[in-house]
Amino acid sequence: MSETKAPSNFIRQIIDRDLAEGKNDGQVATRFPPEPNGYLHIGHAKSICLNFGIAESYGGSCNLRFDDTNPEKEEDEYIQSIKQDVQWLGVQWNGEERFASNYFDQLYDLAVGLIEKGLAYVDSLSPTEIAEYRGNFTTPGKPSPYRDRSVDENLALFEQMRDNKLDEGEAVLRAKIDMQSPNISLRDPILYRIRKKTHHQTGDKWVIYPMYDFTHPLSDAIEGITHSLCTLEFEDHRPFYDWVVENTAVPASPRQYEFARLNLNYTVTSKRKLKQLVDEGHVDGWNDPRMPTISGLRRRGYTPASIRTFCESVGVSRADSVVDMGMLEAAIRDDLNQYAPRAMCVMNPLKVVIENWEEGKEESLIAPVHPQNESMGTRQVPMTREVYIDREDFREEANKKFKRLVLGDRVRLRYGYVVRATDVVRDAQGEIVEVRCTYDPDTLGKNPENAEDQGKMRGVIHWVSAVKGLPCEVRLYDRLFSAANPGKGLEEGQSFLTHINPESLTVLDECWVEPGLRGALAETRYQFEREGYFCVDQDSTEERLVFNQTVGLRESWPKEA
RNA sequence: UGGGGUAUAGCCAAGUUGGUAAGGCAGCGGGUUUUGAUCCCGUUAUUCCCAGGUUCGAGUCCUGGUACCCCAGCCA
């Protein structure tokens, strides 16, 4: 996964130092711990690349662990999709996938241990009372009247919680730390709550579930994780993470380190918002090609390698940042440019008739599959009297900067002959429906000798035979949101949804692609020359190909063309 | 407002004990080119949030400010 040396970042420096000091017996163990409550997105890819990348370069291991402590939000569908996405990204987790729920028995015992040490108690305050007693930023919390229950009473009550003798909200188990702490997450954080809900892994075995803050350090310790990497918002929880590790009988002392989560402009990377886009039908599912989900990027045509190099290029730091979408696009262009087979596809067809080309004559032109990689071989492109070119590639008149077909001037049909536009045919509305041309038979593989006398030679354009080409559908995508930071700067009551770009999807259903692509399988990627990178969509059929535009080619146009 | 963090180019981001600002993306100029692509060459911070201070020397140390982010779920 790393041809290049992984770049320096503060986490690698910490690990280097730990190793130099002989910590953890020289071992490095990380984990990627998603909650199965949604699909993975590009932000998770950053975490995956970080955790698995570190494990790989230090000869360590990385576990895949589902943080499944809240049966209310989780589903098996998400577990399956997460496993598939992680695999697709090309990393391999250590052994079988783990579940925090695998440790529920141990966690329960550890909680009992805390009660026995007088470090945890059952609180019978109501949820609203607990919030009131917690205080706020300026007001310290105050102790619950139940804070000083005896160990025996706590033990009995916790058992009642577990044995389904109490109702939801009637009691919680809390750590006894410091209700006055300026760090609110230390004001007797809740360890267990009652949730009478069937769990996707443990079924109805439990009616009490441990909280993330209690579960995570223990799961890490149980699995022998050495470096537990999470995002910045958990910074305030680190003292409690350490408290849990110190005060329970666990076999290891993992350490938590926080890094800044990935933000991309013109999109959202919050599970809540992505779920809303799906649930309300603003997009066509989690794998809609406009979604920043792993499955969406995949369907869009992104490769695992491009996502990995992107993650490497954005680096890992503790500074809040918003990465430009252009970086992601640069990564996929760079990857695909190297090996994507080239093909010609006309998306807005305009018929061209070559008047001096014999009726019915067909010629097979030879074109390289890749201009810089001869080993990819050649392909055959049929040439006929009638071909399609893109409407954008023809103008009745244009200045010299326009390097395409202009009435009276010449242009090369890529891999074929030089043609000259002689006339146009219009329909009743006056719209051009056809361009009449002549071709120079002596220009295959060589340039015309007569310079300007037949009109200016302007450039090279792509085309597809009107009789041999394959009709197809092409889906063009634009950014999902029209604002760099969706939802920002709006009035009260407006949500990020008001920034959805109404033109994020354009379906072109009268496109023509060269016949060699017949039968191409879903996810096959091409560069449509002069247009961009495209991949075959899963909606394709034998009869009709459907392509998704992954990304356009880089464009450097003279300003006033 | 109490606590915890972060500030280096348009966007990410390196910068080890203070020694004279990496790299990528984007941009700009030029060359090659049967893709306005690719590739190649060159260029882009006298300056590191601001103000003082220490020092022969500060992005790195000290002092004081400013801006932004996170925390008051029985979510993760």
Q: What is the pLDDT of residues A192-205, one digit of tens each?
A: 999 999 999 999 99
For A343, the enclosing helix (H) or strand (E) is strand A342-343
- Tell me what percent of the residues of chain A surpass a pLDDT of 90: 94
In the structure, how far is the CA atom of residue A9 from the C1' atom of nucleotide B16, in angstroms?
A: 12
pLDDT at site A537: 98
Residue-wise DSSP of A226-258: SEEEEEGGGGGGHHHHHHHHHHS--S---EEEE
In the structure, how far is the CA atom of residue A309 from the C1' atom of nucleotide B7, in angstroms?
A: 26
pLDDT at site A309: 97
Q: Which amino acid is at A34?
A: P
Residue A12 among the catalytic residues: no
pLDDT tens-digit series, residues A170-195 = 999 999 999 999 999 999 999 999 99
Residue A153 among the catalytic residues: no
Q: What confidence tier does A560 reach under pLDDT thresholds 50, 70, 90?
A: low
Task: State chain A's mean pLDDT as an integer.
Answer: 96
In the structure, how far is the CA atom of residue A282 from the C1' atom of nucleotide B2, in angstroms?
A: 41
Beta strands A378-383; A363-368: pairing state: antiparallel
Q: CA–CA separation, A477 vs A501, rounded Å?
A: 10
For A152, the enclosing helix (H) or strand (E) is helix A151-162
Write the CA distances from A311 to A9, A192, A389, A453, A479, integer angstroms: 13, 36, 38, 54, 20
Strand B nucleotides within 7 Å of a protein CB: 1-8, 10-15, 22-28, 34-39, 68-76
CA dihedral sign, ordered A295, A298, A304, A310: negative
Does the structure show a pLDDT above 70 at A452?
A: no
pLDDT tens-digit series, residues A43-75 = 999 999 999 999 999 999 999 999 999 999 999
Please, are residues A83 and A66 in contact by the beta-carbon 8 Å criterion? Answer: no
Please, are residues A459 and A403 in contact by the beta-carbon 8 Å criterion? Answer: yes
**A291: closest CA among A80, A89, A87, A504?**
A504
Does the structure show a pLDDT above 90 at A455?
A: no
Does the structure show a pLDDT above 90 at A556?
A: no
pLDDT at site A67: 98
pLDDT at site A516: 97
Work out the average pLDDT over A268-273.
Answer: 95
Q: List CB contacts of A460: < 8 A, sequence separation 6 or more.
A: A403, A411, A412, A413, A414
pLDDT at site A47: 98
The catalytic residue among A271, A342, A403, A458 is A271
In this complex, the nucleotide whose C1' atom is nearest to the CA atom of residue A367 is: B34
Q: CA–CA separation, A413 vs A137, rounded Å?
A: 70
Q: What confidence tier does A147 reach under pLDDT thresholds 50, 70, 90?
A: very high
pLDDT at site A212: 98
Residue A271 among the catalytic residues: yes
Long-range Cβ contact pairs of A378-382 (< 8 A, separation 24 or more) = A379/A341, A379/A343, A379/A514, A379/A516, A380/A516, A381/A344, A381/A415, A381/A416, A381/A465, A381/A514, A381/A516, A382/A465, A382/A468, A382/A514, A382/A515
pLDDT at site A5: 58
pLDDT at site A494: 84
Does the structure show a pLDDT above 90 at A451?
A: no
In this complex, the nucleotide whose C1' atom is nearest to the CA atom of residue A9 is: B14
- Residue with minimal CA–C1' distance to B68 is A320
pLDDT tens-digit series, residues A293-321 = 999 999 999 999 999 999 999 999 999 99
Work out the average pLDDT over A334-360.
Answer: 98
pLDDT tens-digit series, residues A11-46 = 999 999 999 999 999 999 999 999 999 999 999 999
Place of tokens 């049909």: A413
Please, are residues A234 and A67 in contact by the beta-carbon 8 Å criterion? Answer: no
CB-facing half-sphere around the CA of A14: CA atoms within 13 A: 17
In the structure, how far is the CA atom of residue A10 from the C1' atom of nucleotide B69, in angstroms?
A: 19
pLDDT at site A3: 37
- Residue with minimal CA–C1' distance to B26 is A326
Q: Which amino acid is at A287?
A: N
Residue-wise DSSP of A492-553: TT--GGGGB-TTSEEEEEEEEE-GGGTTPPTT-EEEETTTEEEEE-TT--SS-EEEEEEEEP
DSSP-based three-state secondary structure for A478: coil
Q: Which of A143-157, A316-330, A412-426, A492-506 has the lowest mean pLDDT?
A: A492-506
Work out the average pLDDT over A224-234.
Answer: 98
Work out the average pLDDT over A444-461.
Answer: 83
Work out the average pLDDT over A501-509.
Answer: 97
The catalytic residue among A12, A35, A142, A273 is A35
pLDDT at site A114: 98
Beta strands A457-461; A363-368: pairing state: unpaired
In the structure, how far is the CA atom of residue A321 from the C1' atom of nucleotide B56, in angstroms?
A: 38
DSSP A344: -
Residue-wise DSSP of A424-472: EEE-TTS-EEEEEEEEEGGGTTS--SS-STT--EEEEE--EETTTSEEE
Q: CA–CA separation, A298 vs A550, rounded Å?
A: 9
